[in-house]
Amino acid sequence: MRLTVHSGEDVFEGDFPPGTTLLSAFGALGIVIDTPCGGAGKCGKCRVRVEGSASLSLPGQVEREILGEALKAGIRLACMTGITGDCHVFLDPGSFQAIATIDEISFEGCDPLVRRRSLAIPSGGVKRDILSTLVENTRENLDLSDFYTGSLDGEISIYTRPGKLVAIDGRRSSNLGVALDIGTTTIATALLDLDSGEVLAKENSMNPQRAFGHDVISRITHTVVEREGLKTLSSVARKAVSKLIEVLCERSERRPGDINEVVVSGNTTMTHLLFGFPVRSIAIAPFSPFYGGIVRKKAGEIGLDLSPFSEVLALPAISGYVGGDIVAGILSTGLREREDELLIDLGTNGEIVISSGGSLLCCSTAAGPAFEGGNITCGVGNVSGAIEKVSFDKSLTLKTIGDTSPSGICGSGLISIVSLFLKNGMIEALGRFSDLQSWPGELRDRFDKKRNGFILSGDVYITLKDLRQFQLAKAALRTGIEVLLKSFYKGGLKKIRIAGGFGSKIDIGDLFTTGILPPWLDCEIVVEGNTSLRGAIATLLYRSSLAEIDAIIGCSKYIELSSLDEFRNMYIDRMGYI
Ligand code: FES
């Protein structure tokens, strides 16, 4: 069945088996729309206009209740509507999610993974063959067994990776690299000039695989229950990465054909899906990934149209749930060489690493996607308009990303809102809303009984169910921190580094108020932002990173928390706010 999606001047087309929901088809086409309820048919936010309703499944009770009269105008819910024939769907161009922010990053000097040297072909006689003479001039001991040969007119450039000649070519104007952090919720990228080390452009987007579930387990399940599931999810990720690279190049006026290296620092499941590796084993004890070490593939093998000798390198995982993104975080913070420091990644897997006695003790806590805006009724990623902070002083003030009108709640906004509720006595110890009469007047007026939620602005609100999602996430992370520190660590903690795609907006006080951090912690706390992307950049720019990555893997010890009684017992306890 042919689906054609129109959005402004853009047209997307694809063929799908009958019964595929519009939302799944959008995901496969690399289109991300707002789905605050994760496609559960509850939020009514995934509205699209359709033409050819005879080619779509009939609206069920959920759609009839949510859409009412709008159904007659051709409006449908993408998550509830199945394709039964050829049809056209129209999206408001503004309904695509665009990430608004990414950390400021700067690096000094470089010794990149792909080096370029300009050399002139000797005109006179040479002692040995011309190629060996050229390579001798690089003063590197290089394997010459397999390299790309481009134009050899005039001044040429020699491209090398550690220990290897990779290309001789005279026509390329730049030597570029892409750093790629692929997470469950967000994909962050940066384009770099590998000759100068300059960050030329940065861009990120929501991971369109969200249409197949907001957490890694849903996506793994999709690859198991759907015959083409792995292929579909791989293709969705690859298209999203291609699109981001296109945007990076457009913005910096560079050519994708000059990109010679891509370094991926993703969580284990997302990296596997990008490379097309099976992920089933990550969901079953002992949760082993399909691959462990550094993986390299030709860019073309994973659907990226870059330079003819471009390769994609994925950083190694420590375990199924402590992936290359955390290795990159350890690399970029220099954690291995720092004693008594804790790195916490506030993402879907909630990874925690502590440097102790020359080892790196790691665990993950299955926090779920709440800290990234997932499974929250009006939750969004770091998009323009996302509420990132709230404050109350006689009246409620909302701070949104880009200072535009509120479009949803991102992870840091959620933490800030829960903190505000707790400070104003609006949540009881077990997590329920307290008696409305005890709330400050202006806040009390914002409670909507019909939605059983607190209205932040217009259609953006937070419900009791959302508070439960937050409790699950914070209990998992808090328990992980406590068990790791109390049972596996005997030192005196000097510093905590908070990482995550939204880290720079988090108020450290809110982490204590909401109970994400235990109150007895007494050390310096710094907010690091996206350490994963920084680690991918460091790998591209400094060859010494590869040896450091080996050292990180060599001294890392993974602790499986879910098998420990003390984790299970404490987890229930930490759900509350006592
Ligand atoms: S109703 Fe479709 S995503 Fe919420």
Higher pLDDT, 347 or 243: 243
Nearest to 427 by CA among 450, 451, 406, 447: 447
pLDDT of residue 125: 60
Give every strand in the sheet of 386-393, ordered side by side: 395-400, 386-393, 408-409
Contact partners, residue 257, CB within 8 Å, separation at least 6: 172, 305, 306, 307
Q: Is 79 close to ligand 1, i.e. is its CB under 6 Å away?
A: yes
Q: Is 467 close to ligand 1, i.e. is its CB under 6 Å away?
A: no
User: What's the rounded Cα separation, in Å, for the pair 431 and 501?
Assistant: 26
Query: Which value, in Å, is the radius of gyration of the alpha carbons in the chain?
Result: 25
Tell me the CA–centroid distance for residue 78 and ligand 1, in Å: 7
Nearest to 328 by CA among 501, 70, 134: 501
421 and 442 Cβ atoms separated by less than 8 Å? no
Tell me the CA–centroid distance for residue 366 and ligand 1, in Å: 24
User: What's the rounded Cα separation, in Å, for the pair 285 and 76?
Assistant: 41
Q: Is 378 close to ligand 1, i.e. is its CB under 6 Å away?
A: no
User: What's the rounded Cα separation, in Å, for the pair 271 and 184?
Assistant: 10
Q: Is 380 close to ligand 1, i.e. is its CB under 6 Å away?
A: no
Nearest atom within ligand 1 for CA of residue 34 = 3
pLDDT of residue 181: 94
Higher pLDDT, 53 or 76: 76
What ipTM was reported for this prediction? Answer: 0.99
pLDDT tier for residue 46 given thresholds of 50, 70 and 90: confident
Tell me the CA–centroid distance for residue 23 and ligand 1, in Å: 9
43 and 79 Cβ atoms separated by less than 8 Å? no
- CATH, domain 2-95, list 3.40.50.1000, 3.40.50.2300, 3.40.50.300, 3.10.20.30: 3.10.20.30
The tens digit of pLDDT for each residue in 91-113 reads 865 444 444 445 556 666 789 99
DSSP 331-346: HHHTGGGSSSEEEEE-
Element holding 106 (H helix, E strand): none
Q: Where in the chain is the domain with CATH 3.10.20.30?
A: 2-95
Q: Is 278 close to ligand 1, i.e. is its CB under 6 Å away?
A: no
pLDDT of residue 27: 77
pLDDT tier for residue 491 given thresholds of 50, 70 and 90: confident
User: What's the rounded Cα separation, in Å, for the pair 204 and 211?
Assistant: 17
User: What's the rounded Cα separation, in Å, for the pair 314 and 328?
Assistant: 10
Q: Is 214 close to ligand 1, i.e. is its CB under 6 Å away?
A: no
For a ligand 1 pocket test, name from 22, 33, 37, 95 the mutation site with the most ligand atoms within 8 angstroms of its C-beta: 37
CATH number for region 176-314: 3.30.420.480
The tens digit of pLDDT for each residue in 564-574 reads 889 988 998 89
Tell me the CA–centroid distance for residue 183 and ligand 1, in Å: 22
Q: Which two tokens stand for residue 260?
A: 């010679």
The number of C-alpha atoms within 13 Å of 233 and in the hemisphere containing its C-beta is 32
The tens digit of pLDDT for each residue in 142-183 reads 888 888 988 777 778 889 999 999 998 876 679 999 999 998
Tell me the CA–centroid distance for residue 185 and ligand 1, in Å: 17
518 and 481 Cβ atoms separated by less than 8 Å? yes
SS3 state at 578: coil
Q: Which two tokens stand for residue 318?
A: 């420590």
Q: Where in the chain is the domain with CATH 3.30.420.480?
A: 176-314
Q: Which two tokens stand for residue 480?
A: 């992980």
Tell me the CA–centroid distance for residue 7 and ligand 1, in Å: 19
The tens digit of pLDDT for each residue in 193-202 reads 999 999 999 8
Q: Is 42 close to ligand 1, i.e. is its CB under 6 Å away?
A: yes
Tell me the CA–centroid distance for residue 415 and ligand 1, in Å: 23
Tell me the CA–centroid distance for residue 46 and ligand 1, in Å: 5
Contact partners, residue 122, CB within 8 Å, separation at least 6: 130, 133, 134
Q: Which two tokens stand for residue 214?
A: 């907001």
Interior CA angle at 370 toward 364 and 375, to 5°? 125
Residue tagged 């003390």 (tokens): 566
Among protein residues, the one whose CA lies closest to atom 1 of ligand 1: 41
Q: Is 77 close to ligand 1, i.e. is its CB under 6 Å away?
A: yes
Q: Is 43 close to ligand 1, i.e. is its CB under 6 Å away?
A: yes
Tell me the CA–centroid distance for residue 55 and ligand 1, in Å: 20
The Cα-based distances of 52 to 3, 87, 398 in angstroms read 11, 6, 41
User: What's the rounded Cα separation, in Å, for the pair 136 and 142?
Assistant: 9
Give strand ranges (E) for 419-522. 447-448, 453-457, 460-463, 495-499
Higher pLDDT, 12 or 327: 327
Type of residue numbered 134: L
Nearest atom within ligand 1 for CA of residue 41 = 1
| Ramachandran bin of 133, using left for φ above 0, alpha for ψ from -120 to 50, beta for the remaining angles | alpha
Element holding 530 (H helix, E strand): none
CATH architecture of residue range(s) 333-369+470-573: 2-Layer Sandwich (3.30)
Q: Is 328 close to ligand 1, i.e. is its CB under 6 Å away?
A: no
Tell me the CA–centroid distance for residue 291 and ligand 1, in Å: 35
Give strand ranges (E) for 222-308. 259-264, 295-298
Q: Is 39 close to ligand 1, i.e. is its CB under 6 Å away?
A: yes
User: What's the rounded Cα separation, in Å, for the pair 264 and 497?
Assistant: 22
pLDDT of residue 123: 67
Q: What is the DSSP letter of 83?
A: B
Nearest atom within ligand 1 for CA of residue 46 = 2
User: What's the rounded Cα separation, in Å, for the pair 12 and 537?
Assistant: 32
